[in-house]
């Protein structure tokens, strides 16, 4: 069997086009467009690339973006001070502080400082708390986990009653994905570096979300035939034939997994483009609430 490929690039492009149209309608109705402020602290190359991609995506959707860059030795007061200014700026509907922050900064305090109406990353503790609780909904769902759920839904994967295994328990992906899948009535197991027999859990999973940052650690023989596999990993693998000397691969060994899985996301071109699409979606929602009140 060869798996159905879940094309994140195509699905993200559709979502971005819908957002572009809604932004254009907003422009004609309110004479205003959504605004996203990005905050990049320090000179992490990958973070700088991600922020640039997010700003470019905003421009393509007609969303205004305000880029703020602070030096690697910026103080806690400077970062929180900037967040407070952005909270007060009516042109800014969403605030994105790119993570990770330099180690001397208190990430929790910075994320706490973002007004929850502008928390388009969904990382504020109130948003995460609402995500965790039964019968409550967050104002914003964190972008990568949101993208994972949309990919599963668009691929027609049944979530209710499914056995889902999440590999990884990060605040950005593993934990919120687990909470979202639980909200969708999946039976959720979170596996991590101390899990005793990972393959044993994986072989029972109808849905596998790999977000552990280990190059191609999930192989086809660990999967249940027909499983839906969403690979969130982005790892560099040495490849002398590649222009840069490496290529990007996921946490899943794509070639062996696609022979067993029922559906699978490629890396790149799977979850990555969805993170950006869902950020635009959250920014649009923040602006809709700001301009028109909650729906
Ligand atoms: N670092 C890695 N992923 C993300 C993300 O989705 N949002 C932010 N702000 N930082 C990240």
pLDDT band (50, 70, 90) for residue 295 = low
- Give the ligand 1 atom nearest the CA of 142: 6
Q: Are 255 and 110 in contact (CB under 8 A)?
A: no
Helix (H) / strand (E) containing 129: helix 125-132
- Segment 146-161 mean pLDDT: 98
pLDDT of residue 294: 66
pLDDT of residue 241: 96
Cβ(276) to ligand 1 under 6 A?
no
Rounded to whole angstroms, the Cα distance separating 249 from 2 reads: 19
Rounded to whole angstroms, the Cα distance separating 132 from 294 reads: 21
Cβ(275) to ligand 1 under 6 A?
yes
**% the chain with pLDDT above 70:** 99
- Using most ligand atoms within 8 A of CB, pick from 45, 48, 54, 99 the residue to mutate for ligand 1: 99
98 in active site: yes
User: 290 pLDDT exceeds 80?
Assistant: yes
- Give the ligand 1 atom nearest the CA of 143: 6
Tens of pLDDT, residue by residue over 49-62, are 999 999 999 999 99
**CA 53 from chain center: how many Å?**
14
Q: What is the pTM of this model?
A: 0.97
**Residue 97 alpha carbon to ligand 1 centre in Å:** 8
Tens of pLDDT, residue by residue over 23-34, are 999 999 999 999
- Segment 211-235 mean pLDDT: 98
Cβ(172) to ligand 1 under 6 A?
yes
**% the chain with pLDDT above 90:** 98
- Segment 14-37 mean pLDDT: 97
DSSP-derived secondary structure for 34-88: -EEEEEEES--HHHHHHHHHHHHHHHHHT-EEEEEEE-TT--HHHHHHHHHHHHH
224 in active site: no
Q: Give ∠ CA 38-124-56 in degrees, rounded to 5.
A: 20
- Segment 227-240 mean pLDDT: 97
- Using most ligand atoms within 8 A of CB, pick from 37, 45, 50 the residue to mutate for ligand 1: 50
281 in active site: no
Burial of 197 (0-12, 13-18, 19+ CB in 10 A): exposed
pLDDT of residue 216: 98
pLDDT of residue 292: 86
Q: Are 177 and 211 in contact (CB under 8 A)?
A: yes
pLDDT band (50, 70, 90) for residue 293 = confident
Tens of pLDDT, residue by residue over 108-118, are 999 999 999 99
pLDDT of residue 110: 98
Q: Which residue has the tokens 């994905």?
A: 177
**Residue 120 alpha carbon to ligand 1 centre in Å:** 11
Instruction: Give the Å distances, CA to CA, from 153 to 11, 108, 178.
Output: 11, 32, 15
Cβ(96) to ligand 1 under 6 A?
yes
Question: 118: which DSSP letter?
Answer: G
Average pLDDT, the chain: 97
Rounded to whole angstroms, the Cα distance separating 65 from 87 reads: 15
């Amino acid at each position: 069997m060869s798996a159905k490929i879940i094309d994140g690039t195509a699905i993200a492009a559709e979502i971005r086009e819908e957002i572009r149209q809604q932004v254009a309608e907003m422009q004609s109705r309110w004479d205003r467009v959504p605004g996203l402020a990005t905050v990049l602290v320090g000179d992490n190359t990958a973070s700088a690339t991600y922020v640039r991609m997010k700003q470019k995506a905003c421009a393509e959707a007609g969303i205004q973006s305000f880029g703020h860059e602070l030096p690697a030795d910026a103080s806690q007061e400077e970062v929180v001070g900037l967040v407070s200014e952005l909270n007060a700026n009516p042109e800014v509907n969403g605030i994105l502080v790119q993570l990770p922050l330099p180690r001397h900064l208190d990430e929790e305090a910075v994320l706490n400082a973002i007004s929850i109406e502008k928390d388009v990353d969904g990382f504020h503790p109130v948003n995460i708390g609402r995500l965790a609780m039964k019968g409550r909904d967050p104002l914003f769902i964190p972008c990568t986990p949101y993208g994972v759920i949309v990919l599963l839904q668009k691929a027609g994967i049944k979530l209710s009653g499914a056995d889902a295994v999440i590999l990884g328990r990060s605040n950005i992906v593993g934990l919120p994905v687990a909470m979202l899948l639980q909200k969708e009535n999946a039976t959720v197991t979170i596996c991590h570096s101390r899990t005793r027999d990972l393959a044993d859990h994986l072989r029972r999973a109808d849905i596998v979300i790999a977000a552990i940052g280990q190059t191609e650690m999930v192989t086809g023989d660990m999967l249940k035939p027909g499983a839906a596999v969403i690979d969130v990993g982005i790892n560099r693998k040495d490849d002398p034939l590649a222009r840069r000397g490496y290529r990007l691969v996921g946490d899943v060994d794509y070639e062996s997994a696609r022979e067993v899985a029922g559906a699978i996301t490629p890396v790149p071109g799977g979850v990555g483009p969805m993170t950006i699409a869902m950020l635009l979606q959250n920014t649009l929602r923040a602006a809709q609430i700001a301009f028109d009140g909650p729906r």
